[in-house]
């Protein structure tokens, strides 16, 4: 055989192997998580605690995979005026326009990332100002945080009424205890949005191998129903860096999830709002 033909065959073989490695083996995934081979459960991805620098990577994946998502964001991460103020207090001689304040520059980047999320059609809601258990917070401070969250997130909201999700799953677990918080949210015109499934991606014990994918698919397939699933693109006590295990692997999990779920927009599960 001529050398040219051998090279061509070797190239073709390499291409086949590479394609197989990149392809998702749905039969294996369906069998592993006890999911049906036919039929898909509806699922909506939601991401809390951002925006973070790596939210950009999540947006790239969502764009590539054509998947709609909702981001519940912490207003303190886009409160660039407050961040600049802190910079000035630390270094009064620094330029007042923020050009020498790294935290301010990072805040501006996070705002740009959020603007991109909105422009690309994702839903954006508030996740409060600074991720507190609001039922345990002094009522005046609670009211201030909710008002500030609304004011700062207003340019980025995508719905009417604006969406809100309480930190720590308090809308779920403490809805009764948080009666006055839910009331305050209602008075401010927010629509509270819960989740039905959790990836438990905030738990470091889950941040290995395919554990987080397993968490989602075992819930979906054992309950035989989909819903809104909770992921995290950000970290509640970290301004700029994201929930890295999620932001790095969501691009692998989405094609695998697709063996079992149909990705739906938020309005498939949540009624009572209009998109802007
Ligand atoms: Zn949170």
**Can you give the CATH number for the domain in which 111 is found?**
3.20.20.370
| Statement: residue 8 has pLDDT above 60 | no
Å from CA of 50 to ligand 1 middle:
9
Å from CA of 49 to ligand 1 middle:
5
> Is residue 251 a part of any domain in this protein?
yes
pLDDT given at position 23: 84
**Residue 222 burial (10 A CB sphere; 0-12, 13-18, 19+):** exposed
In whole numbers, what is the pLDDT of the chain averaged over residues?
91
| Statement: residue 163 has pLDDT above 80 | yes
> Is residue 84 a part of any domain in this protein?
yes
C-alpha torsion 142→146→147→152, nearest 10: 130
pLDDT given at position 59: 98
Angle between helices 211-223 and 244-257 (to 10 degrees): 40
Q: Please, which residues have CB less than 5 A from ligand 1, an ion?
A: 48-49, 167
pLDDT given at position 20: 45
> Is residue 128 a part of any domain in this protein?
yes
Å from CA of 127 to ligand 1 middle:
7
> Is residue 209 a part of any domain in this protein?
yes
pLDDT given at position 17: 44
Å from CA of 64 to ligand 1 middle:
26
Gap between the Cα atoms of 200 and 233, Å rounded: 12
Å from CA of 29 to ligand 1 middle:
29
Å from CA of 145 to ligand 1 middle:
15
| Statement: residue 16 has pLDDT above 70 | no
Å from CA of 85 to ligand 1 middle:
25
| Statement: residue 3 has pLDDT above 80 | no
> Is residue 85 a part of any domain in this protein?
yes
> Is residue 164 a part of any domain in this protein?
yes
Å from CA of 103 to ligand 1 middle:
21
Residue range 102-145, pLDDT digits in tens:
999 999 999 999 999 999 999 999 999 999 999 899 999 999 99
| Statement: residue 88 has pLDDT above 60 | yes
Å from CA of 131 to ligand 1 middle:
6
| Statement: residue 91 has pLDDT above 90 | no
Average pLDDT over residues 75-82: 98
How many distinct structural domains can be found in the chain?
Answer: 1
Gap between the Cα atoms of 103 and 258, Å rounded: 38
Å from CA of 48 to ligand 1 middle:
5
> Is residue 50 a part of any domain in this protein?
yes
> Is residue 165 a part of any domain in this protein?
yes
pTM as predicted: 0.91
Tokens 């992921």 sit at which residue?
A: 231
Residue range 143-158, pLDDT digits in tens:
999 999 999 999 999 9
Å from CA of 84 to ligand 1 middle:
24
Range of the domain at 145: 26-270
Å from CA of 134 to ligand 1 middle:
12
Res. 171 pLDDT band, cuts 50 70 90 = confident
Res. 90 pLDDT band, cuts 50 70 90 = confident
Å from CA of 55 to ligand 1 middle:
15
């Amino acid at each position: 055989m001529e050398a040219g033909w051998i090279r061509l065959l070797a190239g073709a073989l390499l291409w086949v192997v590479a394609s197989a490695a990149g392809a998702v083996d749905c039969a294996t995934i369906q069998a592993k998580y006890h999911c049906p081979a036919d039929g898909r459960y509806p699922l909506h991805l939601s991401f809390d605690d951002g925006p973070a620098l790596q939210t950009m990577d999540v947006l790239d994946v969502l764009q590539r995979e054509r998947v709609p998502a909702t981001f519940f964001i912490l207003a303190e991460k886009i409160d660039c005026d407050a961040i600049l103020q802190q910079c000035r207090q630390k270094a009064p001689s620094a330029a007042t326009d923020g050009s020498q304040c790294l935290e301010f520059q990072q805040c501006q980047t996070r705002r740009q990332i959020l603007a991109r999320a909105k422009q690309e059609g994702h839903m954006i809601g508030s996740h409060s100002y600074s991720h507190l258990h609001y039922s345990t917070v002094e009522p005046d401070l609670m009211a201030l945080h909710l008002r500030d969250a609304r004011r700062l997130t207003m340019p980025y909201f995508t719905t009417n009424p604006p969406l809100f999700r309480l930190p720590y799953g308090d809308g779920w677990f403490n809805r009764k205890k948080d009666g006055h918080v839910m009331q305050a949210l209602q008075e401010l015109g927010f629509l509270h949005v819960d989740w039905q499934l959790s990836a438990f991606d905030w738990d470091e014990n889950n941040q290995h191998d395919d554990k987080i994918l397993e968490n989602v698919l075992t819930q979906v397939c054992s309950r035989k129903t989909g819903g809104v699933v909770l992921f995290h693109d950000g970290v509640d006590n970290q301004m700029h860096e994201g929930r890295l295990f999620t932001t790095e692997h969501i691009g692998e999990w989405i094609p695998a999830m697709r063996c079992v779920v149909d990705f739906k927009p938020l309005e498939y599960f949540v009624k009572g709002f209009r998109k802007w």
